[in-house]
Amino acid sequence: MPDGQIDTAAKMVTLSDSAVERLKVLGQEDAHAGQMLRVAVDGGGCSGFQYSFTFDDQINDDDKVIEKDGISVVIDEMSWDYLAGSEIGYKQELIGSYFSIENPNAASTCGCGTSFALL
């Protein structure tokens, strides 16, 4: 990449196919009908920052919206900076099923996978 150009792909947050499929299923449930997944980064957790996954039907002025295959995910501007270049996924393992973040900005993560530290 030439000097002075910004790699916009590295700043994007993407959704995996598994996350999209799970959100489609959840969107059919009465409890989540008409809502979007909201992903946020909060202070705390065993590594300094932690991911938060909630459902919301509002888009705030500082939110960024990711859309894939008819599914929308909302991320506030501050959290977006911590998540730039990340992929939001959904994992099904023996210990359970959960949304996950593959975050290139994280220097380390905890065993539970929901908290991280920055470089």
| C-alpha–C-alpha distance, residues 5 and 8, integer Å | 9
Question: Whole-angstrom Cα distance, residue 19 to residue 41?
Answer: 18
pLDDT of residue 7: 45
Taking a C-beta distance cutoff of 8 angstroms, is the pair 118, 49 a contact?
Answer: yes
The CATH number of 9-118, from 3.30.310.10, 2.60.40.10, 2.60.300.12, 2.60.120.260, is: 2.60.300.12
Say how many C-beta atoms besides its own lie within 10 A of residue 87's C-beta: 16
pTM of the model as a whole = 0.81
Joined together, the tokens standing for residue 25 give 């299923």
pLDDT in tens, 46-77: 667 888 999 999 999 999 999 999 999 999 99
